[in-house]
Amino acid sequence: MERLHARYPFFAAAREAVDAAAVDLGELVTRPDEPAVDRAVDRVVSALTDHTIGEPHGDDRIELLSYPVARVVVSLVDDPVVTRTYAKAEAATAHERVLADLDGGDDLKFTTNDTDLTVERLLAEFDLEDEVVPTEDGYEVAVTRYLQLAADLDDPDWRLPRRSLAAGDVPVTRDELLELLRAAIEERVAAGLPFAVPDAIAAELDHAVAAVEDVLSDPAIPTEFADVDPAAFPPCMDALLERARAGEELPDHSWFVLLSFCATVGMHAEEVVAIVDPGDETVAERIRYGVERVATSEGEIAYPPVSCATMQTYGDCVNKDETCETIAHPLSYYETRLAADD
């Protein structure tokens, strides 16, 4: 198992190295204090808390084996936010390593060497060698593949109307090519997740799953309020409301968080429809259904909103103010603001 395999465990050669070593995953996870399992948990927890995969283990074999174990743990947690966040963290770390390994990030050379990382090797790894062509001042990427890789990149400058297009190719700079490769890595890591895990292996990883779920668990939170006061909403909820009012199609998890919060502070479905004011009956029906889903027929909240830590994982923790620095849950923020306004 080479160092390159440990640094890029999603490479086909890395998977082949694990297969060639005839490692029995079922047997590996039964070993007491197995370092590969500990490192796997660290990969996933660090992804959720720091958007990295933590510090690499000093042993390349352990570092490489921790990757398939981490994928098992992610599959057992079976949460789309965890899956997406983990894939993004693996890709972000890999992107940093690519910059460091490609001649110190100073020059992208099309060379061949079985032990070195090169652009040629990266492109071949992701079946891009026929779709990326070097030019005098950068590269050209086939438009179909460009659209696939740039689809989830946030900067509007990635949108095709803002790009040059010639003979079916999109010119990109050196840095842009590396960013597109980061997207390809994320796509590779996320592929196939989550997958079914045999019961015997799942039982041995209960503690690993618990460690990840602890990160997502919510602290004790207030759930009963005397008043409904939108002026006391935390910045994260204000932002979600503004996005919904503007007609933005919020991700499912963002809708869930917003509707759960509104229901928990005492708003009924029609009140939430009124405050969002979607101007679209389809969206209004989605709001009504969502509020009914999070609240039981007795008015109790079956699914309270998530903690600030989980909001950060979702990417919905925005516009933090001084009150945010002292609380750990959006409902605690609301309670604090209500008390301050009395």
Q: Output the pLDDT for position 102.
A: 87
Q: Output the pLDDT for position 310.
A: 81
Cβ(27)–Cβ(140) below 8 Å = no
Which residues does residue 1 pair with via DSSP β-bridges, in sequence order?
none
Low-confidence ranges of the chain (pLDDT < 50): 105-113
Q: Could you give the 3-state DSSP secondary structure of residue 170?
A: strand
- Angle formed at CA 92 by CA 154 and CA 12, multiple of 5 degrees: 115
To the question of whether residue 324 is assigned a binding role by annotation, the answer is: yes
Q: Output the pLDDT for position 278.
A: 82
Tell the burial category of 26 from Cβ atoms under 10 Å away from its Cβ (0-12, 13-18, 19+). exposed
Q: Output the pLDDT for position 34.
A: 94
Residue with tokens 């796509």: 187
What whole-number distance in Å separates Cα of residue 122 and Cα of residue 70?
A: 23
To the question of whether residue 236 is assigned a binding role by annotation, the answer is: yes
What whole-number distance in Å separates Cα of residue 249 and Cα of residue 255?
A: 9
Q: What is the largest CA-CA distance in the chain?
A: 70
pTM, 2 dp:
0.68
Q: Where are the alpha helices (DSSP H) in the chain?
A: 3-7, 12-20, 25-28, 35-50, 60-77, 80-101, 119-125, 143-150, 174-190, 199-204, 206-216, 235-245, 252-264, 269-276, 281-294, 308-314, 330-341
Number of Cβ within a 10 Å radius of residue 284: 18
Q: pLDDT by residue (tens digit) across 108-118?
A: 444 444 557 88
To the question of whether residue 317 is assigned a binding role by annotation, the answer is: yes
Cβ(234)–Cβ(331) below 8 Å = no
Q: Output the pLDDT for position 105.
A: 44
Which residues does residue 165 pair with via DSSP β-bridges, in sequence order?
none
What whole-number distance in Å separates Cα of residue 248 and Cα of residue 264?
A: 23
What whole-number distance in Å separates Cα of residue 195 and Cα of residue 99?
A: 31
Q: Output the pLDDT for position 219.
A: 60
Q: pLDDT by residue (tens digit) across 112-148?
A: 445 578 898 999 999 999 999 999 989 999 999 999 9
To the question of whether residue 262 is assigned a binding role by annotation, the answer is: no
Cβ(66)–Cβ(39) below 8 Å = yes
Q: DSSP letter at 31? A: S
Residue type, 193: L
Q: Nearest to residue 146, comparing CAs of 172, 173, 175?
A: 172
Report CA Rg, the chain. Answer: 23
Q: DSSP letter at 55? A: P
Cβ(201)–Cβ(31) below 8 Å = no
